[in-house]
Structure 1
């Protein structure tokens, strides 16, 4: 299963299926939608029947509906790896989903700064409407900050809960 991030909001399940079927047999395709508007939330998941295909797809560059998108192996909740022993494998950037549209980048950065120095904080916005797409990325100076953040499963910013 792979995570596809950075999708245009108008992307459909059909678009993902039509694009990724060229790499192998698909078991499932889903674009995550906003419950109120029905628009895409900017990310989705593609599951291949053959796990080796997923690894090859992640290694390639992809463009869907004219936009370069990010493909990463999806890690099911509860199966995230523990602290990494190899320093080159330590992660300093995390994906944060389920953000309320009222959360500003200042709120976002301020909330996560309690776990360490932040190098970058970005809430993804729709290019046309300039509204939040409901997710963002935080990059910490240290992998230790990431490990501390992911130990807490539920976080709240401005009384809106999201999960990793």
Structure 2
């Protein structure tokens, strides 16, 4: 017997003996990307949860996670899916209060992830029936939208009632904004007021909007008009408008 025939096959072919890493698949058997993408939904929720007054949460069971009331997150959709198609898909369960599509910051294209907020938590729970629904050549995942650690921390610091107007205040806090809101959108929204400047809050790590801004007005009358528009809808979201708190060192 030749010497090479006496060598165990695993030793003779060390490269073949190495176990190939099997591609990871989701719960429907569809291949998914590397480990970095496994937390994509969680990361997007962290980045796109605007800093706004606390929303009601529903908890199931002792020690269970907390979820945003009436809100679900749909992921795994084809990038070609339109807002109209998503709205039509979820509208069958009940009235939709807002629909927020997540987009790639560089191209602005849809990234297959959307946040759907219904009028009630009961309707949101019914929409979970779409979990595993095939859309295009992919299987969509629908789950309740968790209250992230960042939003929990935010709740501890944000005011539960509107702050009183500080002396000399000409600025307003504007929250619960859509991630892709523009300065033009805000100027059109506050068209009855005279705006001096708009200061968006930007995430230093990602460069994306943090979901709120401060608007400086030219006169007190303009500020009062703006604050009077609190909870008015802008791009499908009820906007929080309050007097800006002046931070003193």
Give TM-score scaled by structure 2 length. 0.33
Greater gyration radius: 2
Higher strand share: 1
